[in-house]
Amino acid sequence: MEKRKTLKSGEFLVNEVEAMNIFIPEEFNEEQKMIAQTCKDFLETELYPNLDKIDAPDTSLMKSILKKAGELGLMGISVPESYGGFGQSFITQMLTAEVIGAGYSFSVAFMAHCGIGTLPIMYYGNEDQRQRYVTKLATGELLGAYCLTEPGAGSDANAGKTHATLSEDGKHYILNGQKMWITNAGFADVQTVFAKIDNDRVLSAFIVERNFPGVVVNPDEKKLGIKGSSTAQIFFNDVKVPVENLLGKRGEGFRIALSILHMGRIKLGANVLGAAKKAITDSVKYANERKQFGVLISNFGAIKYKLAEQVIRTFALESAIYRVSKDIDDQIVTNKKVEGTDIGKASIDGISHYAVEAAILKVFGSEVLDYVIDEAVQIYGGMGYSAEMPVERGYRDSRINRIFEGTNEINRLLVVDTAMKRAMKGDFNLFGEAEKLALNLKDLLVVGPVNSDFYLEKISYIKNFKKIILLIINGASKKFEKQLVQEQEVLNNITDMIIETYISESLALRIQKIELIKPCHNLDIYKEILNVYVYDASEKLRKNAYDAIYSYASQEEIPTLIKVVDTLVGVEGINVKESRRKIADKLITDNAYQF
C-alpha cells in the first residue's frame, strides 16, 4: 500500500496533496462514533439540565460534573493507558473536543483540565511525576489548572515576574508571585505554574498543589460570559515547592508554555466547531417554529442566507480541522520511531510541528463561531436577547475565544511569521517558488481555459490563490526586509489570504474524497458549499492583496501587480442566491445540522 503523503507545517503554500491523502470526518470509525455519542449523552443528561445553576455560578456543581466526566473516562482520552487513560489518537481527541464544545462554560472547564491542566505533566513530566499526578488527573480524582498569565504578562508570557529561589537546604523552591485569569482556579488540586528561577531570563515550570502552604486563591472573577467556568487570581506567598516538582529542566518553561499553547489553539478550533453546530441547530429549530406575517421565517430568503452561511463556514472549518488532525497523528507516529523518544515528547513535538495550522484554526474557528452565534441571535430576533434562550448564553460565551490561547491578533502574526521561519529552516521552498513567480509576472497574466472537471477547476483556483500569497510575501520581504515584522497590517493581509486558501483547499479535498470513497446523496449540496466558499474567498484574497500591494509596492510596480492579482483571483461566476437556498433548504428539512 502506498504511504500517505503528509505535508510539513505550512508546506501547503507550495505543494499539494491528493484528496485520498487527507482524513475526513466521514471516515470516523465505530469506536470514535461511540466516544462522541458518550460525550453527547453526558451533555444531555448531566450538563444541560444544570446550565442555569452552573452559571449562577455554582463552583461545587461544576466540580461534581467534572468528576462524573472523569468517572466515565472522558478525561483520559489523551492520556496513555499506562497512566490510566484511553490513549486515543489525536483525531479522537479532537472529536471529543468538538462534541464537548457544545457544553458552554463546562467545555472551558473540561478542556482546561484535560489539556493545559494535565498534558504539561504528561508531556514533560518524568515517570515519578506522571505516576503521582497524571494517573489521578486522567480519572478526575485530581483536577488541574495552568498558571501562566500575570497582570503584566499576557501575550508576552516571558515578561512574568513570578519567581522562585532554591531553599538553603536545597530541598524546595520558594515560590512568590501572582497569576490571573486562571481557569479552574476555584477548585483545581494541581497547578502547572511558570516562574523564573533566580535571575534567569526565561521561565521554568513547577507542579504546585493547591494545599501547599502559601497558595491563596481569590474569589472568582465576574465575567461577560463562560460564567460557570471558575476564573480567579492565585497568589503564591513563600510557597515551598519540592525540588522534585520542577517540571522539565530549569529554563524549559517558556518552551513548555509555547508547546502547550499550540495544542490549546488547535483544540480550541475543534471546541468552537461543536459550539457552532449546536448554534446552527438552535437557529433552524427556531426558524422552523417562528412565524411572521403568517409564514415561518425559515421561508424568507434573508433567513435562508444566514442559515446557509452558518453551514458553509462551519463545514469548511470542520474540513480543515480533521485534515490537520491526521497530519499530527502521522507526525506523532514518526516521532515515536525515533530512538529514545517517549510518548509524551513524541506527542507534543507532533502537535507543535503544526504551529502554522494551529494558529489558522484558532483564528478562523473563533471567528466562525462568532459569526454563527451572532446570526443565531439575529434569527431569534428579540427573543435572542433573552436569557431564556440558549443563543443568549452562546453569544456571551463565544466572545472569549478570540482572546483565549493567544489573541487572534497575535495568532495572525504567528501564521505568516512561523511559515516563513519554517521555510528559512529548509522545510519547504517558499522563497524559491516566490522568486520564480516574481521573475515571470507576464506569464501569470495568461489564463488557460476553465477545466471542465469540477474538482480540478477548484484546485486550479486555489493554486492561483497560493501564487498571489507567494508574490506578496516576496514583494513585502524585499521592501521591508528585517522590518517586515513591524508591518503588522501587511502581515495580517498575508495571513488572511493564507487562512482562506488553506480552508478552501481543505474543503475541496474533503468533498472530492467523499465522492471517491462513498455514495453520498448530499454530494450536490456539498458542491454548492464549495462553490460559494471559493467564490467568496477569491474576493477576500483580492481585497487583502490590493491592500498589501498598495502598502509596499512602488508606483511603477502597482499596475502590473494589480493586473496579476485580478487575473489570479478570477473564478467562474455562480448564482450564489440559489446555491445558498439549496444549502439552507437541506438544513431546514433536517431541522438540525446534519452535514
472-495 pLDDT, tens digit per residue, is 999 999 999 999 999 999 999 999
* Superfamily classification of domain 425-590: Butyryl-CoA Dehydrogenase, subunit A, domain 3 (1.20.140.10)
Asked, as a colleague might, if the bond just before 390 is cis with ω within 30 of 0, I would say no
Report residue 501 as a C-alpha cell.
486558501
Phi and psi, residue 396, nearest 5°: -70, -40
Residues 6+ apart with CB under 8 A from 588: 284, 287, 288, 298, 304, 307
Domain 145-247: give its CATH architecture.
Beta Barrel (2.40)
Secondary structure of residue 189 in the 3-state scheme: coil
Say what the pLDDT of residue 339 is: 65
Per-10-residue mean pLDDT for the chain, 595 residues long?
77 96 97 98 98 94 97 96 96 98 98 97 97 98 97 84 97 98 98 96 97 98 97 98 98 94 96 98 98 97 98 98 97 87 91 97 98 98 96 98 96 97 95 95 83 92 97 97 96 98 98 92 96 98 98 97 96 97 98 98
Cα–Cα–Cα angle for 331, 144, 272, nearest 5°? Answer: 60
* Residue 144 near residue 109, CB atoms below 8 Å: no
Cα–Cα–Cα angle for 493, 319, 3, nearest 5°? Answer: 105
Length of the chain: 595
Secondary structure of residue 183 in the 3-state scheme: strand
**190 - beta bridge partners?**
144, 209
Q: Round to whole Å and give the CA distance between 571 and 462.
A: 10
Q: Round to whole Å and give the CA distance between 268 and 266.
A: 5
| Residue type for position 510 | R
Q: Round to whole Å and give the CA distance between 419 and 331.
A: 17
What are the distances in angstroms from CA 318 to CA 275, 285, 587?
12, 22, 17
DSSP 207: E
Please say whether the dihedral angle defined by the alpha carbons of residues 363, 368, 369 and 375, taken in this order, is positive or negative.
positive
* Residue 116 near residue 260, CB atoms below 8 Å: yes
Domain extents in the chain: 145-247, 425-590
For the annotated catalytic residues, the residue numbers are 405
Mean confidence (pLDDT) of the chain:
96
Report residue 260 as a C-alpha cell.
502547550
